[in-house]
Amino acid sequence: MNGLVWFRNDLRTIDNHSLYNACRENEKVIGIYCLDPRHFETTQYGFKKTEKYRTQFILETLTELQQNLAEKNISLLVYYGYPEQLIPEVAAKYQIDTIYIQNEWTQEEVDVENEVRNLIPAVNWKTYYDQFLFHPDDVPYEDWEKIPEVFTEFRKQLEKKIRVRPTVSISAKPISNLIEQKTSIPTLEDLGLEDFKQPNKTAFPFKGGENQAKKRIKEYFWDTKKLAVYKKTRNGLVGKDYSSKLSAWLANGSISARMIYWEVQQFEKKVVKNEDTYWLIFELIWRDYFKYISLKHGNKIFQLNGILQKEYHWNQNTKAFNQWTNGTTPEHFVNANMIELQKTGWMSNRGRQNVASYWAKEWEQDWRIGAAYFESMLIDYDVHSNYGNWMYNAGVGNDPRDRKFNIKRQAEMYDSNGKFQKMWLIPEIF
Q: Within the chain, which residue ranges are assigned CATH 1.25.40.80?
A: 131-166+210-297
CA-to-CA distance for 62 and 13, rounded, in angstroms?
A: 11
CA-to-CA distance for 235 and 170, rounded, in angstroms?
A: 37
Nearest to 97 by CA among 21, 14, 8: 21
CA-to-CA distance for 279 and 155, rounded, in angstroms?
A: 12
Strands 124-128 and 28-35: unpaired
Nearest to 154 by CA among 291, 354, 355: 291
Between 401 and 192, residue with greater pLDDT? 192
CB neighbour burial string for 295-323, b if at least 16 within 10 angstroms, e if fewer: bbbeebbbeeebbbeeeeebeeeeebbeb
Q: Within the chain, which residue ranges are assigned CATH 3.40.50.620?
A: 1-130
Q: How far is CA 392 from CA 123, 187, 231, 259, 382, in A?
A: 41, 36, 21, 28, 15
Residue 47 has φ and ψ, to the nearest 5°, of: -125, 165
- pLDDT for the residue 429: 60
pLDDT bucket at 93, cuts 50 / 70 / 90: very high
Residue 412 has φ and ψ, to the nearest 5°, of: -65, -40
CA-to-CA distance for 291 and 285, rounded, in angstroms?
A: 10
- Give the pLDDT confidence of 201-225 residue by residue, as tens digits: 999 999 999 999 999 999 999 999 9
- pLDDT for the residue 219: 97
pLDDT bucket at 430, cuts 50 / 70 / 90: low
- pLDDT for the residue 301: 96
pLDDT bucket at 399, cuts 50 / 70 / 90: confident
The percentage of the chain sitting over the pLDDT mark of 90, rounded to a whole number, equals 95
Q: What is the mean pLDDT of residues 384-396?
A: 95
The percentage of the chain sitting over the pLDDT mark of 70, rounded to a whole number, equals 99
Q: Is the pLDDT of residue 311 over 90?
A: no
CA-to-CA distance for 126 and 37, rounded, in angstroms?
A: 25
Q: Is the pLDDT of residue 402 over 80?
A: no
- Give the pLDDT confidence of 337-376 residue by residue, as tens digits: 999 999 999 999 999 999 999 999 999 999 999 999 999 9
98-102 sheet: strands from edge to edge: 75-80, 28-35, 2-6, 98-102, 124-128
- Give the pLDDT confidence of 147-195 residue by residue, as tens digits: 999 999 999 999 988 999 999 999 999 999 999 999 999 999 999 999 9
- Give the pLDDT confidence of 44-92 residue by residue, as tens digits: 999 999 999 999 999 999 999 999 999 999 999 999 999 999 999 999 9
Find the length of the chain.
Answer: 430
CB neighbour burial string for 164-174, b if at least 16 within 10 angstroms, e if fewer: bbebbebeebe
- Which fold does the domain 131-166+210-297 belong to in CATH? 1.25.40
- Which fold does the domain 303-429 belong to in CATH? DNA Cyclobutane Dipyrimidine Photolyase, subunit A; domain 3 (1.10.579)
Q: How far is CA 404 from CA 286, 363, 386, 407, 419, in A?
A: 20, 11, 18, 9, 24
Does domain 1-130 correspond to CATH entry 3.40.50.620?
yes
CA-to-CA distance for 71 and 66, rounded, in angstroms?
A: 9
- Give the pLDDT confidence of 24-44 residue by residue, as tens digits: 999 999 999 999 999 999 999
Listed as own residue / partner, the contacts of 349-356 with beta carbons closer than 8 Å and 24 or more positions apart are 349/234, 349/235, 349/243, 350/235, 350/236, 350/237, 350/410, 350/414, 351/237, 352/389, 353/389, 353/393, 353/405, 354/405, 354/407, 354/410, 355/324, 356/389, 356/390, 356/393, 356/394
CA-to-CA distance for 112 and 355, rounded, in angstroms?
A: 33
Q: Within the chain, which residue ranges are assigned CATH 1.10.579.10?
A: 303-429
